[in-house]
Amino acid sequence: MIPSNSPFAKSSAQTSFGVQSVIQTLGKSEATLERFAWLGDQFAIAEWTRATDEAQTAYDKPGHHTLSCYLQGGYRTERQKVPGRYGAPTFLCALPGEHESQWWVRGRMHFLHLYFLPDHFTRRAVRELDMEPRELTLADRTYFQDEQIAQLCQSLLHFDWEDRDDLLRMNEAVHQTMSLLLRSQGVRKSGVTPKGGLAVATRRRLADYIDCHLTDTLTLATLADVASLSEFHLARMFRTSFGMPPHAWIASQRLDRARGLLRSSRLPISDIAAECGFANVSHLSHRFKDALGVSPQGFRQIIGLDL
C-alpha cells in the first residue's frame, strides 16, 4: 500500500517504522487509504477517507507518534474513554506511540495522518526547549484545536505527493508542524526522574561548544574535556541526555545548519560546506541526499534560491 514510485520510498523503507500496523487497523474498519508518502527524515503522511454506518477502531501501542487532522466530517466519531466528544473539520488528535485507544466511527470522514518517531519529537526538546529527551513525550490528546497546525496539515493536501520538489516542501512544512506540536502538546513524563544523564549545566555547555565549533574536528576526547568526564562516561551520558551518541548529534547539527544557510543565504555551497564542518561539497551532498533525497543545489532550486 506504500507507493513504490515515491522518491523517498526506497531509502526511507530501509529504516522505516511500523506504520503498516496503523494502515492495517484502519483498513479493517472500512477506511480507504487515498495517498501515502515518505517525506524524508523518516516522516510519513497518509490521506484517508471512510464512510460507514458504524465501525470500531482500536490502536494498540503502534510504536510511532501520530498526528491526526480531520478535514471533513467526523461529527459522530468518538473515543471510548471520552464519550460525548465528537470530531469536526480542523480538529486534531495527538496519539503517542505507547497509547492504546478504541474509537466508534460513524458517517463520512476525510482525515490526514502524520506519522513520526518518538525520537523525532524528543530530540527537538534538546534543541528547542533545553530539555532532556527522557523528560518529554507527546501528550495523548483527543480533539484539540490549533489554527497554525491545522492550516499546515491542510496545506499538505495541495502538493503532488509523487513529485520530488513538492515532497521536499512538505518535509519543510512538517518540520514546522513538529516544532509547534512540541510546544503545544509536549508534556513531561509522569513519574519519571531522569537519572544517569548529564547535569543541566554540562549539557548546555556541551551543546554550546558543539554549536560554536562545528567547523572543527570534534572528538570524543575533546567533548570529554569540555564536560570534565572520562570518554567512557561522556559517551554513555551524552546519549542519555541528548537522545543520540555524540557523532550523530554533531552530524545532525551540521545538517541543520546547512539547511538553514541554504534556505536563508546566497553563500556558495562550497562555503556552506566549510561553514558547517563538512570536508567538502561532496561530503555535504552525500549527507543531504541521505536525509532528504536531494542535493544541496536541488534543495536550493526547490525553495527558489537557485543562483
Superfamily designation of domain 9-188? Jelly Rolls (2.60.120.10)
Superfamily designation of domain 200-302? Homeodomain-like (1.10.10.60)
pLDDT value of position 17:
63
pLDDT value of position 217:
92
Task: Of 3-7, 170-174, 207-211, 291-295, give the lowest mean pLDDT range.
Answer: 3-7
Task: Of 17-26, 109-118, 193-202, 276-285, give the lowest mean pLDDT range.
Answer: 17-26
CA atoms within 13 A on the CB side of 10: 5
Listed by start position, the domains of the chain span: 9-188, 200-302
| Percent with pLDDT over 70 in the chain | 89
Q: Which residue has the higher pLDDT, 22 or 198?
A: 198
| Percent with pLDDT over 90 in the chain | 58
Q: Measure Cα distances from 176 to 120, 148, 169, 220, 237 in Å.
A: 12, 10, 11, 32, 29
For the chain, give the mean pLDDT.
Answer: 87
Residue type, 172: E
Provide DSSP, 171-189.
HHHHHHHHHHHHHHHEEEP
